[in-house]
Amino acid sequence: MKKLTLLFTFLISIGSIGQQSVKSLTIREAVEYALNNNLNLSKTEIEKKIVQAQIAEIKGKGLPQINLNGRFTDNFSLAEQQLPAEIVGGTPGTTIGVKFGNRYQVTSGLDVQQQLINFQLFNSLKSVKALEQLNDLQTLKTKEDLIINVVQVYTQIQIAEKQIELLDENNNRTNNLIKLSELKLKEGIMKKLDVNQLKVNQSNLSTDIENAIYSKNESIRMLKVLLNFPSNETLVLTEKLDDANKIIIQDNLTMESNLTLMQTIKQIELSKIDEKLVKAEFYPKLNAFFTYNYQGNANEFKFSGPNYADQFNGTWGLAASVPLFDGFQKRKRVLQKELATEKLEADKKTLELNIEKEYQDAKQQITVSEIQVKNQKENMSLANENYNGIKLSFSEGIAAITELLDSEFALRQAQSNYLNAQLQLRVSELQLIKASGQLSKLINQN
C-alpha cells in the first residue's frame, strides 16, 4: 500500500511538472514571438497565396484553351422526312416517308482557342498585381498594429505590476499602523473609532489590490491572444516599468512611409486600373481558333468493316468581335469608376491632414507626458515623505487620524497619477512612431 501511495505521488508530481511550463519574455522577445505566431498574420499569408493564385488564373486565360470532345449517339428511332412519291415511282401528288442517317454515330474533336487581342485581359493582369501589392501593404499594416498592441499591452502589465507593488507597500504600512493602534486602544490612548477608520482604509486597499491583480491578469490573457501563446502556460514579463528604455523617435514626419496613406495611394492606382478595365470593353477582340474532328457512322453496333463509314475534318481561322452599342451601359460604368477614384483622391487629402494632426498631437503629448512623469515622480516622493512624517506624528499621538488618512490618500493619488503619466507617455510614443512612418520603415528594413 505504501509503495502504491509513493507511485501515485510520483505520477502526480510528474504531471504537475509537465503543466508548469513557463516562458519569460522581454518586450523585444514578445514582439518577435507575436510576429512569428500571431493568427492574424497567418491569415495574411493565406490571403497572399490566394492573390498569387488569382494572378496565375488570369495569366492562364492568355494561354491556349484546349478541349477534347467525344460523343456516342444511338439514333434508335430516326425521324422520317416526307418526299414526293414519284421520286421512287409512286403515285404523283402523294408522299412517302424516308429515314435519313445511320443509327449509330461516334464523334470526337479537338478544339483550340487563343486570345490574340483582349485589352481587358491585359488590364486584369495589372489589376491583380496591384491587388497583390495592396495585400503586401496590408500584411505590413497588420504587423505594425500587432507591434503597437503588444508593446502597449506589455506596458499595461508593467503599470499594473508597479501599481500592485505600491499598493502592497501602502497595505503593509496600514497593517503596521493597525497593530500599533490596537495596542494603543488597549492602553486607552486611542479611540476605537480611529482604529475602525484604519481598518476601513485597509479594506479599501485590499479591494484596490484585487482590482489591480485582475487588471494585470486580464492584460496577460490579452497578450497571450496577441502572441498566440497557450493559455494554460505561464507567461512571465522580465522587463519592469523602472527598466523600460525610452523609445528613440525620429525628428521629422515621413508622410510617404505612413502605411495607411500607402494603402490609400495603392487603392487609387487600383481604381484607375478598374476604369481601364471597363473602357477596354469598348475595344474589339480578336481570337484564333483551330478545330479537328472525327466522325464515324454505322447501322450495326460495329465500328469497323465495310458497313462502317468514318471521316476527319478540320478548320482554323480568326474571329473578331466589335462592340457597337449597348444602351450606354459601359459609359455609365466608366463614370461610376471615375467617381470612385475621385472619392479616393479626396480621402487621400483628408488622410494626409489627419496624419499631420496625429503626428503633431502625439509630439506635443510626449512633451507634456515627459513633464508630467517628472513632476508626478517628484510629487510622489513628496507625498511619501509627508505621509511618513504624519504617520510618525500619529504614532506619537500628535497628529489626528484624519490627517493620516488624508496624507495616505494623497500618496495613493500621487502614485496613480505617476503611473497614468507613464502609460500616457508610452502610448504617445507609439502613436508618434506609427504616424511618422518610422515603425513601417523599421518593419521593411527587417
The dihedral through the CA atoms of 138, 140, 143, 147 has a sign that is negative
Q: What is the pLDDT of residue 7?
A: 34
Angle between helices 119-187 and 438-445 (to 10 degrees): 110
CA distance 259 to 279: 30
- The rounded Cα 426 to chain-centroid distance in angstroms is 23
- Within a 10 A sphere around the Cβ of 323, how many other Cβ atoms? 11
For residue 94, what is the DSSP state? Answer: -
Q: Are 127 and 273 in contact (CB under 8 A)?
A: yes
For residue 256, what is the DSSP state? Answer: G
Within the chain, which residues score under 50 in pLDDT?
A: 1-19
Q: Give the residue among 431, 433, 391, 428 at the shortest CA–CA distance from 410.
A: 391
Main-chain phi, psi angles of 347, to 5 degrees = -60, -40
Helix intervals (H) in 280-400: 329-395
**DSSP letter string over 407-430?**
HHHHHHHHHHHHHHHHHHHHHHHH
Q: Are 255 and 437 in contact (CB under 8 A)?
A: yes
The string of pLDDT tens digits covering residues 195-216 is 888 888 889 989 999 999 999 9
> Where in 211-284 does DSSP place strands (E)?
234-237
**DSSP letter string over 255-270?**
GGG-HHHHHHHHHHHH
Q: What is the pLDDT of residue 244?
A: 65
Max CA separation in the chain (angstroms): 148
HSE toward the beta carbon, residue 108, CA cutoff 13 A = 4
- The rounded Cα 173 to chain-centroid distance in angstroms is 47
